[in-house]
Structure 1
């Protein structure tokens, strides 16, 4: 259960600081709004006592004009405060979401896998807005209500200490009620937020897995999952409703009792001539505003916990990003990458190492292939090179500098990575190839021709402007892979990593793609992870991995005669091709 005391207010301040002057100005307007609201009430005393009861009717236009001016000021301030709250809320939500998104993009593979993807979406959408609400609305409103209380008590002090003591008694009653009811209501609100989050995640994941649900005929099962989670949310809402009703049952009779007592006491005082009718009516309204301010402060103490719980969730994710992202930057190309006694195992099974004391050197400007049986560590090596995961032991050096000491963005600009199941945007072909990189049409076309996908794109209804759907659903597996390859080639990277990037292509298309790739990547570093050994016949260096260790290194001919694991892989590959 989140504990709000763990939330770092300095951490929240970073979202206020960029616009602190606007925050301060908005708070000033809110306090002016308080004064104007009290003035609207105060003017009524003079209208009643001086004009109506004092029969000074010539003063009526003056007081009516004053009332109108004060009321117009109130409307202007009301509009201005609403405008600044909305503006600051949107800007703050943008700052929080940008900070969170930046952190998510830097999270390790381990941290990403520990959290459901839909949960990140919920954090980004719901929690970022809750934090913005706290900083731009709830907290300023709390200060505003506190100002109301202090100001009204100051006014009451001019009328006599009896009413001040009665008001302090009212404060003490609310404090006692708050002490016993606020934690209960706060806990219920937090549980509802968690259940609502779970329901939102379930809905998003259900929509994402629609094809699988339909193909396996599990529609009823999916409905039942939704029904079960909705019932869990409903029970929490019902429990909160009962607790909120209990709170109302305790506070409402007290509020109305105070009103009745004030009417009786004030009315008697007017009859006795101790106070004027105007003073009585204004005091009655002030008491009503005071009670309302107490109630709002009471609600504020509970509402803010919801936002602080959201802040804590965001802070925990952002805190997972290592404070040091590396600072080393190098102008020239990298000459070699060295794996030095690298160990790695995944959290699910620490006893089984994926990489075991692995050492080898990757020379630059060559075509390097990694082969081995599934689970041998090939994709893990690729993930380490793109800084998704880090070794449990040993280190990776690029030109004798530990990879973790390289500035991350600087390092990643040198690399393009194409995986077996590439992610594609639900956008146009052109947008998926450029992926935010400004590029001329001729460069895009060249990259597509190199990836053997240009002719197919030309046949599409809108060519490069054709929309390919969610995750490229309108394309075949091979077309998605070639589109991702074109995306990588457009960047002409110093290091190109292909992780089963042509596995969905037929043999002839794959042969043409690899032949073109060899031509345009001559003298550049290309790292290939492949099960089809036909793609690496002409590799300059083949590194054979077996159970997390290097079983052999050399070219195709050398390994075929000297490395038994490689010979076995070749035999298996030939059997597959023959069967096909």
Structure 2
């Protein structure tokens, strides 16, 4: 389902109506089936009433028995068929609505910039897409179905009871009428408790997700006990909240059962005496008792339905607020990617929530088809500049231009298609090695072999159990750091990018393999614009131009030889690297 604008976020009601509208006829059809099934479900009781009255009067014969049995059987079959289709239609519609919302949420998350994921923990995002979405589905499906059925059931049964004997029906109904109001009041309290439980569950999910996504670091530092203690606190909070809810539930159901029993006692006491006095037939008393039992538990369930709807609406509110935190730029650009000279002019950037600029007044040029390098100490702003150039983060207006156009005016997807980025932190997915390399693209065997050869990953295939079909663990945990980096290089090469950005992507590779990769990349670099970020001088010394960053500013620039003559930060970094290699 495609949404043309964000008007669906105006209110909770518009949110629900927007996603429900495509399935409105399914809900109307299901509602009509509920109406018919409620009536057909109530009619057999009247047949039982007449059957007992005939038996008491001595007028019951074989024909009457066969007729009553066949009528009840027919009504039961009709009710069963109607019940099947009403549940099927309404449940299917609720599942499709859940599907549409989840798809929209996934598209929404893809549109968000990096700053969005700084503010929102992965565990909280997962809680919205799983727990909250399940609550919305249950409200739209089971909640709507039971609310409509309970209302119709109450109206039809109460109407039939009062039509049979107004007085002896009205008195036993008084305690029962209390049930939906008492149930709704108590369920409102349960709903508030449930919202608190959801928040604690969301926090616990975040602790679990962060622990196991960083399990290598946890084990390396021997901090299992510390993370276990954090999980224990989150788990204890969740347990305490659920037990509070369980204690309240333990009081509610016995109370409701007592009220229901009180209604039956009133009916049997008053109705039994009326039968003895001849004021009411035995069949009528039996029918009233059956109707009372049929009415009691749906009315008790009314509070459960109200609670389900409240939980669902609370989840709708959370989902709507989630969508409202949209940080994706409204303007997505109108020009396609066009290779050309990249000019960065007086670029300054500060991360949201930070009190310090990551980049300050940066100006540089990356000519088309050239190889330019960035070098600097840790925290100097290299990766920030890479994020801006690759549009992981959108730069301030008119600070980065390509082919004399602001890159913010280039259509985002088109721009990213033209860029091949090998980031510092390699992210691989729980899929086969080949699927990770191709990344959703169909690649010819020749190009795949070339990328494997340049990245020096091909020589390791013999060590993988199923070669390219080897399934990787989460984030490629079953590969070494060097293998993950080489896989990322191969993945970027297969994109055939016009702008290739290598962000310190050889830090986990040994020097011999590094030399072989650099040698293989030389031919690939020809005719492409290349930006290399590294702290290793061996990687960048062949660059046409080198910019040295320090505390977010460009402090030196030139080629390797000219920078060596300047005897500045570049020389100190170079000598430091030589010293480290000598010690190694």
Q: Tell me the TM-score normalized by structure 2.
A: 0.89
Alpha-carbon RMSD: 3.0
Helix, strand or coil: the match of 1:544? strand
Q: 1:266-345 maps to which residues of 2 (within 5 A)? A: 266-322=271-327, 324-331=329-336, 333-345=338-350
In structure 2, the residue matched to 1:363 is 367
Q: Which runs of 5+ in 2 are unaligned?
A: 1-8
Q: 1:379-394 maps to which residues of 2 (within 5 A)? A: 379-391=383-395
Choose 426-435 or 459-468, whichever is displaced more: 459-468
2:338–2:403 contact (8 Å) kept in structure 1: no
CA distance in 1, matches of 2:397, 2:94: 45
Could you tell me which of 470, 487, 494 is aligned with 1:490? 494
In structure 1, the residue matched to 2:3 is none
In structure 1, the residue matched to 2:426 is 422
Deviation for aligned residue 1:37? 1.8
Q: Aligned pair 1:112/2:117, yes or no? A: yes
Deviation for aligned residue 1:488? 1.0
In structure 2, the residue matched to 1:48 is 52
Q: 1:526-545 maps to which residues of 2 (within 5 A)? A: 526-545=530-549
Deviation for aligned residue 1:167? 8.4
Q: 1:479-518 maps to which residues of 2 (within 5 A)? A: 479-518=483-522
Deviation for aligned residue 1:44? 2.0
Could you tell me which of 192, 195, 200 is aligned with 2:197? 192
Deviation for aligned residue 1:249? 5.2
Deviation for aligned residue 1:204? 3.7
Q: Write out per-residue CA displacement over residues 356-389 of structure 1, whole angstroms, 9 at most, x where no aligned residue.
A: 2333343332222222221111111122233333
CA distance in 2, matches of 1:42, 1:398: 82
Helix, strand or coil: the match of 1:577? helix
CA distance in 2, matches of 1:10, 1:289: 36
Deviation for aligned residue 1:87? 3.5
1:7–1:308 contact (8 Å) kept in structure 2: no
Q: Write out per-residue CA displacement over residues 435-482 of structure 1, whole angstroms, 9 at most, x where no aligned residue.
A: 221223232222111212112214433221223333222322111111
CA distance in 2, matches of 1:474, 1:322: 35
Helix, strand or coil: the match of 1:438? coil
CA distance in 1, matches of 2:39, 2:390: 59
In structure 2, the residue matched to 1:246 is 251
Could you tell me which of 68, 71, 76 is aligned with 1:71? 76
CA distance in 2, matches of 1:548, 1:164: 83
CA distance in 2, matches of 1:386, 1:40: 71
Deviation for aligned residue 1:68? 0.7
CA distance in 1, matches of 2:489, 2:162: 77
In structure 1, the residue matched to 2:264 is 259
Could you tell me which of 572, 575, 581 is aligned with 1:571? 575
In structure 2, the residue matched to 1:32 is 36
Deviation for aligned residue 1:149? 2.0
Q: Which runs of 5+ in 1 are unaligned?
A: none
CA distance in 1, matches of 2:328, 2:456: 43
Deviation for aligned residue 1:36? 2.5
CA distance in 1, matches of 2:279, 2:578: 109
1:450–1:516 contact (8 Å) kept in structure 2: yes
Helix, strand or coil: the match of 2:111? coil
CA distance in 2, matches of 1:341, 1:127: 45
In structure 2, the residue matched to 1:202 is 207
Q: Tell me the TM-score normalized by structure 1.
A: 0.89
Q: Aligned pair 1:94/2:104, yes or no? A: no
CA distance in 2, matches of 1:403, 1:278: 83
1:53 and 1:181, CA in 2 relative to 1: closer, same or farther beyond 3 A? same
Helix, strand or coil: the match of 2:425? coil
Helix, strand or coil: the match of 1:252? helix
Choose 87-96 or 107-116, whichever is displaced more: 87-96
Deviation for aligned residue 1:104? 2.2
